[in-house]
Amino acid sequence: MDPLILSRIQFGANISFHILFPAITIALGWVLLFFKLRYNRTGDSAWMRAYFTWVKVFALSFAMGVVSGVTMSFQFGTNWPGYMETVGNIAGPLLAYEI
């Protein structure tokens, strides 16, 4: 197989894996806010238990998103060095936000 096709397959697999974690993290952030607001409003400890249960999943999802995002930013430079040489001045600062 052509190395370009292999690098595209690798990047496609990585970005498909990566996008799950930011989506889960954003959604869980809103769910955690809801749990915290319900606890503050009602004082029911079940909401706080739910919050502490799901905050662990949130932390794991956030960490996995960071790790997969870092590997993805390295793939830009290793898989497409010519492309990154051309757009690096613009894409570089944007990729820094990922980390």
pTM of the predicted model, to two decimals?
0.79
d(CA 35, CA 51): 6
Look at residue 12 in the predicted model and tell me its pLDDT: 92
DSSP element (H, E) containing 56: helix 45-79
Can you give the pLDDT at residue 99?
66
Distance of CA 24 to CAs 37, 68, 74, 77, 88, Å? 20, 14, 23, 27, 29
Between CA 19 and CA 36 the distance in angstroms is: 26
Quick one: tokens of 34?
């809801």
Mean pLDDT by 10 residues, the chain (99 residues): 88 92 96 98 97 97 92 84 87 79
Domain spans in the chain, listed from the N-terminal domain onward:
3-98
pLDDT of residue 34: 98
Residue 77, Cβ neighbours under 10 Å: how many? Answer: 15
